[in-house]
Amino acid sequence: MSAKHRSGTRERAAVFAALGDETRLMLLAKLSRGQQCSIAELTEGTALTRQAVTKHLRVLERVRVVHGRRMGRENIFEFDPKPVNEMKEYLELVSRQWDSALSRLKAFVESDAN
Amino acid sequence: MSAKHRSGTRERAAVFAALGDETRLMLLAKLSRGQQCSIAELTEGTALTRQAVTKHLRVLERVRVVHGRRMGRENIFEFDPKPVNEMKEYLELVSRQWDSALSRLKAFVESDAN
DNA sequence: TAAATAAGCAACTTTATGGTTGCATTTCCT
DNA sequence: AGGAAATGCAACCATAAAGTTGCTTATTTA
């Protein structure tokens, strides 16, 4: 309800959208296991072209779930946990709101109101 | 790493994708506060048409974040917490994987290897 | 230095998404 | 009954997203 929440809606949606693709979830899975991988390495597991994987990495990079740094001729990508943690916290908030809403409903039903 | 994970990748991506839109996050916010709302009511806060909101509700419904039931002439929508909790748990898993990967890296750096 | 490796850039195709408008249907209320 | 309210359905449009191919650039390495 605070301004902090409403102002972040766009950014949160962007992070969720970035996670909303099977290929990107697989990239995320590999990188979150701690491996630092080049684009070519990340392409290996998939049925896609290197360029397609590159595009997916840019999407993840734009919302800072991942970042790459140039090492010689290769671009090494690494996981960045902050946005994922923020999304986890947001979902926890939603969950808590729901629980307290249920509690209120329960209290209402059990009150004189019925 | 288990089969359970890999088989769910598509579904997880679908849920994240459903959450990856500002309008749908706002609908989710309202519904997760426990209010059961008709489509017309949910449309009120927005600058969109009723039909646009309906489409967004269908997207959320397809991944079971929400469900509607017909009550007379109106369609009352309600939040469903299961998928959101599952996504929360998935993000927790990712987060733990990352933490343990960092621990392993730290142990490695501090070992004879350097 | 020349071949091979890794990646970036750009154009293009296809399909999904978000949104609209117009009209039909169901339900409620007087 | 008959009008108002709440939806549903379908066609349509515009833009974004996912993926491809072809070509260029930068770095290794033999």
Mean pLDDT score of chain A: 91
- What is the pLDDT at residue A105? 80
Of B84, B95, B105, Cβ closest to residue A84: B95
Please, which pLDDT band fits residue B38 given cuts at 50, 70 and 90? very high
pLDDT tens digits along B79-97: 999 999 999 999 999 999 9
Q: Which residue has the tokens 């109106």?
A: B74
A77 forms bridges with which residues in the sheet?
A37, A68
pLDDT tens digits along A13-52: 999 999 999 999 999 999 999 889 999 999 998 999 999 9
pTM for the structure as a whole: 0.91
Give Cβ neighbours of residue A51 (< 8 Å, ≥ 6 apart).
none
- What is the pLDDT at residue A110? 74
Please, which pLDDT band fits residue B2 given cuts at 50, 70 and 90? very low
Structure token pair of residue B44:
């009120």
The whole-angstrom separation of Cα B106 and Cα B100 is: 10
Contact A12, A90 (CB under 8 A): yes
Task: Provide mean pLDDT across the span A66-87.
Answer: 98
Report chain D positions within 7 A of protein CB atoms. Answer: 5-10, 17-22, 26-28
Q: Which of A24-38, A89-103, B47-61, B100-114 has the lowest mean pLDDT?
A: B100-114
The whole-angstrom separation of Cα A23 and Cα A27 is: 6
pLDDT tens digits along A94-108: 999 999 988 888 787
Of A16, A26, A92, Cβ closest to residue B19: A16
Taking an 8 Å cut-off on Cβ atoms, the answer to whether B22 and A10 are in contact is: yes
For the CA of B18 and the C1' of C29, the distance in angstroms is 38
The whole-angstrom separation of Cα A101 and Cα B34 is: 5
Taking an 8 Å cut-off on Cβ atoms, the answer to whether B19 and A13 are in contact is: yes
- What is the pLDDT at residue B113? 56
- What is the pLDDT at residue A66? 98
- Asked if pLDDT for residue B114 goes beyond 50, the answer is no
For the CA of A54 and the C1' of D30, the distance in angstroms is 29
- What is the pLDDT at residue A112? 54
For the CA of A20 and the C1' of C16, the distance in angstroms is 13
Phi-psi region of B64 (alpha: psi -120 to 50; beta: other; left: phi over 0): left
* CB of B70 lies under 7 Å from some atom of strand D: yes
- What is the pLDDT at residue A109? 76
- Asked if pLDDT for residue B7 goes beyond 70, the answer is no
- What is the pLDDT at residue A113? 57
Pick from B22, B17, B21: nearest CA to B63: B17
Amino acid identity of A47? A
- Asked if pLDDT for residue B1 goes beyond 60, the answer is no
* CB of A52 lies under 7 Å from some atom of strand D: yes
DSSP 8-class letter at A79: E
Nucleotide nearest to A52 (CA to C1'): D19
